Each structure stands twice: as C-alpha cells, then as structure tokens.
Copies of this chain bind each other. A is one copy, B any other.
C-alpha cells in the first residue's frame, strides 16, 4: 500500500508542528517530508469543533495532493476535535500526537497521577482524559489550559521571569495534586521544557508529544515496510497559508535549524 519514496505529510495550525519535524528528522533522517502550516488561520486553540474539522480536512486534502504516504496531525486541537473524522476519510494512515503521548505517560507514571497542559480547546475537549482512561481506568488526571504559553513563546520570552511566574500560576494546582507525570499537550510547549522542569521539579516526568509521535511514525513505517529505501538525507518542503516571512523567522527556533523552501499556497 505504502510506497517508499513518498513523503511523510504533516500539518499544523502554524509553527508548533515544527517541533514534530525536529524529532522526525532525528528518528528518520532519510525521509522526505511535506509540511503544511495554516498560518493564515492560526491559532486553532479557541475555535469550535465544526470550524476546526473543516480546516483539518482542507489541510489533509492538500497533503494528499502531494501523494504523502502517511498524515501526521501535529496540531493538538485538530487531533482533539477531528482525528477520528480524518482517520475515516483517508486511505493513508492518519497519526495524531495524542495517542503516542498518552501511551508513554501511562508507561512512565508510577503513581498514576498524570497532569495534562494544553490550549483551551485541547483541554476543554477532554480527549486526553478519555484516551488515558481507556488505557487505565484508575489513572487520576489533572488538566489545566495555559493559553498564554503560546504567545509567550512567540514573544520569545522563553527564559524569562515573567514566563516563570505565569508558569507557576498555571502549574501550581498540578503541583499541589502531586502529579508524577506531565503531558505537554501542545507542540509549542517543548520550547518551555526548561521552565516547566524548573517549576515542576526533576521528579515529575515530562512527556513531549513531538518526540513520542516521531517514534510512533518510525515504528509504523518500519512495520508496514513503508520506510524510504534511499540512503541520502530526505528533503523537507514547507507550505504555509500566509506570507512565509514570519514563519521562516520564528520557525527556525522550533525546528532547531534554518528553514528554507517555504511556499505560500
């Protein structure tokens, strides 16, 4: 079914999904990747299920036109609100960021006290709770939306007292509840890893969904014989729905290297 040289398709509401590519490049350096960032309509976090489903289908259709062999939905809000819809609609495998992170969290949590942080949309959707409970009903889940994290990251106040203070306010309740594992349920949040670790302490395991989904994609392609045969490095193509300038400027930080080959569609 899969063809080796076809690209891995990945979409996100904007920049956040680049942290997923960063991990994919580590796990699967020889794969070709096509990325679509919906920068004209970003952010998805506070929008309704109906609207997000429509956006997600449009984004996936765009990737399908590029003949991708798998679709990675890197946006937590899209996953929370429309992953099942996408899975039904397309023939290629559709992979979200939620399941891999949830599985890892359950695997790592010793006391079964798991925290989840994300945008308002993700938290309100309750999808992480449902996914965690599906694996183990006894898990205690404590979730908290952190709507200021994304704009703080985009303001580049990453190692900053203000960000630490805001983080402390958002996370204080999770700390009080003595969670042992915390899922970063937003692909922007890995950039705040240091601050979050500082606030939560070393004993709390942080689950980076970008890392987990990359591992999951690798596994899936290996199992299905879908890996690209070639030994040379793969190519990344980036598409965005708004002018690329801001994407290129800020995106480098998410990707961990300079972004080239960005086109507006």
Task: Give the B-binding residues of A (Cβ under 8 A).
Answer: 39-41, 46-51, 147-148, 151-152, 154-155, 162, 165-166, 169, 241-243, 245-246
Point out the residue from B47, B169, B243 that lies within 8 Å of A242, measured CB to CB.
Answer: B47
| Cβ contact within 8 Å between B148 and A152 | yes
Instruction: Provide the residues of chain B in CB contact with A246, threshold 8 Å.
Output: 46, 48
Contacts of A166 in B (CB 8 A): 162
Question: Is the Cβ of B48 less than 8 Å from the Cβ of A243?
Answer: yes
Q: How many copies does the complex hold?
A: 2
Contact B169 A162 (CB under 8 A): yes
Are B162 and A155 in contact, with the CB atoms below 8 A?
A: no
State whether B162 touches A151 (Cβ < 8 A). Answer: no
Q: How many angstroms between the C-alpha atoms of A249 and B155 in the bound complex?
A: 27
Contact of A40 among B47, B155, B245 (CB under 8 A): B47
Contact between B242 and A51, CB atoms less than 8 A apart? yes
**A235 → chain B closest CB, angstroms:** 26
Residues of the B chain whose Cβ atoms lie less than 8 Å from the Cβ of A155? 147-148
**Can you name 16 extra interface pairs (CB under 8 A) apart from A47-B243, A165-B165?**
A40-B47, A40-B51, A46-B246, A47-B242, A48-B243, A49-B243, A51-B241, A51-B242, A51-B243, A147-B154, A148-B148, A148-B151, A148-B152, A162-B162, A162-B166, A162-B169
Residues of B within 8 A of A51 (CB): 40, 241-243
Residues of B within 8 A of A46 (CB): 154, 246
Cα–Cα distance between A166 and B242 once the two chains are bound (Å): 29
30 A-B contacts (beta carbon < 8 Å):
A39-B47, A40-B41, A40-B47, A40-B51, A41-B41, A46-B246, A47-B242, A47-B243, A48-B242, A48-B243, A48-B245, A48-B246, A49-B243, A50-B243, A51-B241, A51-B242, A51-B243, A147-B151, A147-B154, A147-B155, A148-B148, A148-B151, A148-B152, A148-B155, A151-B151, A162-B162, A162-B165, A162-B166, A162-B169, A165-B165
